[in-house]
Structure 1
Amino acid sequence: MLTWIILALIIGLILWVRVAPSDANQWHVDPETVEKGARPNQFLMRDGQDANSLVFDMPPAELAANFNDVALSKPNVVVLDGDAKELFVTYMQRTKLMAYPDYISVKVTPEEGGKSRLFVYSRSRFGRSDLGVNKARIQDWTAALGQPVAQ
């Protein structure tokens, strides 16, 4: 009997992470100003953090649209909140096997000379370690945008 109870709890937990609601008020955060939490399952691309923000030689609207196209071309990615036209979006990507949600907040700001700066905050909702997934995701997505300009 105890085995069945434990099995039911495990199955319940597995199902919960797949269907747990995602509150946009909690996860749609500004990567330009957010403070990272204590858990190591996150990656913040902002000057002085895990990686510096990137500057691209294109207007903000174009960079935001290009990033949106890259993000939505990846498997299991949806927009949680925001809009590329507003230059601030949070995406949710579910992991392949367990469907755990990861949240990726992206902000584009204008720079002098028609350039734009990209800030990204990627983090896992569940678990302590992400095994480098958030860093790899941001490196992959930003590489797909082309070469940033020297800062």
Structure 2
Amino acid sequence: MLKLVGILGLLVVAAAAYIRLAPSDPARWHVPLTFDADQDSKYGVQRVVQTGPDGLARLDALIGKPPLAGSVAEGHATYVVRTPFWGFPDYVTAQQDGDRLRIFSRLRFGRSDLGVNGRRVEQWLAVLKAG
């Protein structure tokens, strides 16, 4: 029994290490955003909001980490944002189009994000709208 617990413990540690250390391919995640309407799925969310021309710059400041690909200057950036406990990577792509900001936030691992991306994006949008 103790041996089984030890093996299970090692599997959990190995899975957590893989989740944290797996490389991210910018070509796979940094994609042009062409949608024009909000959409929710079990994998993430898409949002289109009026932010003014500085929406991406303000979102970049909220995220607080350098993009995986793109930049604010390019008007299109993709970030890796991790869940607090397990460190699951979620990919957030944002694209400024005039006064409109498109945001696509989605999971990398699993079959459902359990609403994490939607809650995170809604928190960011509340801050953007407030000021």
Task: Name the TM-score, length of structure 1 as normaliser.
Answer: 0.72
Secondary structure class of the residue paired with 1:123? strand
Q: Structure 2: 5+ residue runs without aligned partners?
A: 36-40
Q: Is residue 2:4 matched to residue 1:12?
A: no
Residue equivalent to 1:104: 92
Alpha-carbon distance in structure 2 between the residues aligned to 1:100 and 1:135: 15
Name the Cα RMSD after superposition. 2.2
Residue equivalent to 1:25: 27
Deviation at 1:104, TM superposition (A): 0.3
Alpha-carbon distance in structure 2 between the residues aligned to 1:146 and 1:26: 30
Aligned match for 2:105, one of 122, 125, 129: 122
Task: Name the TM-score, length of structure 2 as normaliser.
Answer: 0.82
Conserved? CA contact 1:30–1:106, under 8 Å: no
Aligned match for 1:55, one of 50, 58, 73: 50
**What CA deviation, in whole Å up to 9, does each residue of 1:76-108 have, x standing for no partner?**
x44211101111011111111111111100001
Residue equivalent to 2:45: 43
Q: Structure 1: 5+ residue runs without aligned partners?
A: 34-38, 46-52, 111-115
Change (3 A) 1:13 1:55: same
